[in-house]
Chain A
Amino acid sequence: MSESDEDLIAAVAAGNREAFGTLYRRRRADVYRFALHMTGTPSAAEDVAQDVFMVVIHEAKRYSPSRAAVVPWLLGIARNMARRRISERRHEPLPDGADVPGVNADPAEGLARSQRVELLRRALVTLPVPFREAVILCDLQELSYQDAASIAGCALGTVRSRLHRGRQMLAAQMRGERHVTRAWPARQWL
């Protein structure tokens, strides 16, 4: 039987090297995906994931299962790292989609569908950060509202309203109503 995430964190805190390696291989993908959607660039997502596990090395002993499950705890760290990166490169141009791994661009499978996913990815990156993280945590990472609220450091109702508004903005962008998010100073709204 494989160890739970909580067991692994406890073992990491006790200095178990193998447990750290296992935790990294098991949860890196969750952290990477979250960071990718938040920052919009694979290289930044890799860096954030690396930074998160660097923090785990030093902070594992402070982890408390009673406060959060391991994945929300990791994503909470990733959120802060990603927000810092977003604020640091506020004036950079938006990333293009050329270097995004895994986006299906096979014409036989439906170019329109690929373009739609790509359009959504780009729209997501332009959302103001609070709305973006609500959509990522709830819709893409499929976390509960409760977990999303604890990660975002806000009330559960706030997550609901941000998610609702974020979806509205995304849908409007998908319909081509670009003015909807243009009204928000998205790149400066942290």
Chain B
Amino acid sequence: MKTDIDDLDLALALRRLADASEPPPIDSRREAELMAAFDAAARSAPPIRRPYWGMAGLAAAAALLIAVGLAPARAGRHGSSSPPLVRGVQTETPGLNNVPSEFVIVPGAAALPPMESGSLIRMDVPVAMLPSLGLTPPAASVAAVKADLIVGQDGLTRAVRLVN
């Protein structure tokens, strides 16, 4: 049968194509780049977290936030005319200029597979790349800016924000 011959031909050709696709030898420069990246990642790896102390720290921070947040409200409710002792949580520190902006979704990210896990990576991004990430380049003439990237389990960037 003609169809069977075609199928067999195709199967043979596919097998030959698979056999004919041997990769070139490993490029030592590329391998060295990877190993350097591995070393850099190992150096910047966060210390091992201790769950107990981590939770205790979180609880303490939460308690502090609640206390700070309630203080102005309590003062107002009792009709005190004196200024509240705590005016609220300070959101900007004078002299600290690396306050991150909001995260924005990278163009095309909505079409990617759902994010199941990911990493937050801070890196220098060339200014020329910012429009493609959906960000407006800064007015200052700099070649690169610091940005936080949310990278999914597939290695593709989902969202980005500028750090400074």
**Chain A residues near B (Cβ < 8 Å):** 15, 17, 20-21, 24-25, 28-29, 32-33, 36-37, 42, 45-46, 49-55, 57-59, 62, 76-77, 80-81, 84, 101-104, 113, 116-117, 120-121, 124, 135, 139-142, 153, 167, 170-171, 174-175
Q: Is the CB of B10 within 8 A of A171?
A: yes
Q: Is the CB of A171 within 8 A of B21?
A: no
In the complex, chain B residues whose CB is within 8 Å of the CB of A32: 23
Q: Is the CB of A28 within 8 A of B13?
A: no
Q: Is the CB of B27 within 8 A of A117?
A: no
Q: Which of B29-37, B63-71, B85-93, B133-141 contacts its partner?
A: B29-37
Q: What are 14 A-B pairs at a CB distance below 8 A? A: A17-B38, A24-B31, A46-B27, A55-B155, A58-B41, A59-B155, A77-B155, A80-B154, A101-B22, A101-B24, A113-B16, A117-B20, A140-B18, A167-B10
Give which listed residue, A50, A135, A140, A175, contacts B34 with CB less than 8 A.
Answer: A50
In the complex, chain B residues whose CB is within 8 Å of the CB of A28: 23, 26
Q: How distant is B9 from chain A, measured CB to nearest CB, in Å? A: 7
Knowing A117-B17, A175-B6, the reply to whether A29 touches B23 (Cβ < 8 A) is yes
Q: Is the CB of A33 within 8 A of B21?
A: yes
B101 at interface, CB cutoff 8 A: no
Q: How distant is B29 from chain A, measured CB to nearest CB, in Å? A: 10
Task: Provide the bound-state CA to CA distance between A163 and B41, in Å.
Answer: 39
Q: Is the CB of B13 within 8 A of A117?
A: yes
B127 at interface, CB cutoff 8 A: no
Knowing A32-B23, A50-B30, A102-B22, the reply to whether A120 touches B17 (Cβ < 8 A) is yes
B128 at interface, CB cutoff 8 A: no
Q: Is the CB of A52 within 8 A of B23?
A: no
Q: How distant is B26 from chain A, measured CB to nearest CB, in Å? A: 7
Task: Provide the bound-state CA to CA distance between A58 and B10, in Å.
Answer: 40
Knowing A17-B42, A171-B10, the reply to whether A46 touches B35 (Cβ < 8 A) is no
Q: How distant is A102 from chain B, measured CB to nearest CB, in Å? A: 4
In the complex, chain B residues whose CB is within 8 Å of the CB of A52: 155
Knowing A20-B38, A174-B13, the reply to whether A51 touches B20 (Cβ < 8 A) is no
Nearest-neighbor residue (CB-CB) of A113 within chain B = B16
Q: Is the CB of B30 within 8 A of A46?
A: yes
Q: Is the CB of A37 within 8 A of B14?
A: no
In the complex, chain A residues whose CB is within 8 Å of the CB of B117: 59, 62
A interface majority secondary structure: helix
In the complex, chain B residues whose CB is within 8 Å of the CB of A153: 113
Q: How distant is B132 from chain A, measured CB to nearest CB, in Å? A: 10
B121 at interface, CB cutoff 8 A: yes
Q: How distant is A89 from chain B, measured CB to nearest CB, in Å? A: 15
Beyond the given A104-B16, A135-B14, A142-B18, could you list 15 further A-B residue pairs with CB under 8 A, ordered by the A residue number?
A17-B35, A21-B35, A29-B23, A46-B30, A52-B155, A57-B41, A58-B41, A59-B155, A80-B112, A80-B154, A102-B21, A120-B17, A167-B7, A171-B6, A171-B9
Nearest-neighbor residue (CB-CB) of A170 within chain B = B10
Knowing A20-B35, A135-B14, A174-B10, the reply to whether A33 touches B23 (Cβ < 8 A) is yes
Q: Is the CB of B10 within 8 A of A36?
A: no
In the complex, chain B residues whose CB is within 8 Å of the CB of A62: 117, 153
